[in-house]
């Protein structure tokens, strides 16, 4: 029985046990996915000496930076300085960040109409935005806009080759965007919505929200009312998990309607 899990503080809210439990069953894998609570003061020690019982782990808030400090980073983990998927290889622990991959895979699966040659506009400049901006950059023009403009500028500079604009300019750039992504926490149950005039977007634009609780945020509802393509945040969560499963068990798992329904039932 191979053991994997998610390291965080707290981790009780994680949906990953449901996702991995579904794939264990689907692919007949003898595995167990556990919640691994690690206090912030113990994180460096934990990742420096990842206990042998774990075949690999996912890492969530607030430990993604600590994980990246102690493993051999690959791909976006190198640029971003965060790792959320760790695996063992050749006697060492390796890590990457799968959030950007998860976002793009979800977009490709759920919004085949996405035209990456138009402006890809990302609102927000936190951890999730950084992963998304870095992933979108290889597809075309990317612009990041954030309430705190200095963070948008810093993120654009860190990733390189990315534009940024001030919060006040957001309404004006909508007309050029083929993709609008809400990568802020606005729209989550209990928070204010991200209020934008989505009617200013081109008619073929895709609106994606990475918030998945609720599944249809006020932004997505407004976009749907304008007959725009919409992508909710659950796809990103499910697709980012495929990276760990493939690393640990050698199978690229499917993200299908049955898996989605199981996770929706937990929201
Ligand atoms: P974070 O690092 O804390 O960043 C939060 C972002 O939201 C910042 O850009 C912040 O702007 C902005 N923001 C917060 N309150 C705001 C307000 N009142 N008005 C305007 N902007 C506001 O968080 P994160 O880790 O990037 O996560 C962001 C959201 O994505 C969360 O809801 C999280 O649950 C979700 N998420 C989803 C997935 C998925 O798989 N679907 C994965 C990761 C995260 P300032 O810089 O101005 O504060």
Find where tokens 């654009």 sit. 156
> What is the residue-averaged pLDDT of the chain?
97
Question: Closest ligand 1 atom, CA of 234?
Answer: 41
In which element (H, E) is residue 231 found? strand 229-231
Task: Give ligand 1 pocket residues (Cβ under 6 A).
Answer: 99, 124-129, 146-148, 151, 184-186, 188, 210-212, 233, 236-237, 240
Taking the complete model, does pTM exceed 0.85, yes or no? Answer: yes
Active-site position among 3, 64, 158, 262: 64
Instruction: Give the distance (Å) from ligand 1 centre to CA of residue 37.
Output: 22
Distance set, CA 71 to CA 83, 97, 102, 155 (Å): 9, 12, 21, 23
Q: What percent of the chain has pLDDT over 70?
A: 100
Q: Which of 187, 257, 251, 249 is nearest to 220 (CA)?
A: 187
pLDDT at residue 191 in the model: 94
pLDDT digit string (tens) for 80-135? 999 999 999 999 999 999 999 999 999 999 999 999 999 999 999 999 999 999 99
| φ/ψ bin of 132: left (φ > 0), alpha (ψ from -120 to 50), beta (otherwise) | alpha
Print the SS3 string covering 50-99. Answer: CCCCEEEEEECCCCHHHHHHHCEECCHHHHHCCCCEEEEECCEEEEECCH
Q: Whose CA is nearest to atom 16 of ligand 1?
A: 186
Which pLDDT value is given to residue 18?
Answer: 98
Q: How far is the CA of 260 from the centre of ligand 1 (A)?
A: 23
The pLDDT, as a whole number, for residue 195 is 94
Q: Using alpha carbons, select from 84, 86, 58, 60 the residue that is nearest to residue 72.
A: 86
Q: Where are the alpha helices (DSSP H) in the chain?
A: 16-27, 43-48, 64-70, 76-80, 99-110, 127-136, 149-159, 170-173, 218-225, 234-249, 257-264
Concerning whether 64 is annotated as a catalytic residue, the answer is yes
């Amino acid at each position: 029985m191979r053991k994997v899990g998610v390291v965080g503080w707290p981790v009780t809210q994680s949906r990953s046990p449901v996702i991995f439990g579904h794939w264990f069953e689907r692919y007949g894998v003898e595995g167990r996915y556990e919640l691994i609570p690690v206090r912030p003061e113990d994180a460096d020690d934990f990742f420096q000496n990842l206990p042998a019982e774990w075949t690999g782990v996912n890492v969530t808030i607030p430990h993604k930076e600590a994980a990246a400090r102690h493993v051999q980073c690959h791909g976006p983990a190198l640029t971003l300085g965060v790792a959320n998927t760790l695996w063992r290889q050749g006697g060492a622990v390796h890590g990457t960040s799968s959030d950007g991959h998860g976002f793009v895979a979800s977009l490709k699966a759920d919004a085949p109409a996405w035209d990456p040659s138009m402006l890809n506009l990302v609102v927000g400049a936190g951890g999730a935005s950084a992963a998304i901006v870095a992933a979108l950059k290889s597809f075309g023009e990317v612009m990041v806009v954030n309430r705190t403009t200095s963070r948008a500028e810093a993120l654009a500079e860190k990733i390189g080759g990315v534009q940024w604009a001030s919060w006040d300019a957001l309404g004006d750039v909508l007309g050029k965007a083929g993709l609008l992504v809400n990568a802020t926490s606005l729209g989550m149950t209990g928070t204010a919505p991200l209020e934008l005039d989505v009617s200013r977007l081109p008619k073929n634009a895709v609106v994606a929200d990475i918030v998945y609780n609720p599944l249809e945020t006020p932004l997505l509802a407004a976009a749907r009312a304008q007959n725009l393509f919409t992508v909710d945040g659950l796809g990103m969560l499910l697709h980012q998990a495929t990276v760990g499963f493939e690393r640990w068990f050698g199978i690229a798992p499917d993200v299908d309607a049955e898996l989605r329904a199981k996770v929706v039932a937990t929201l």
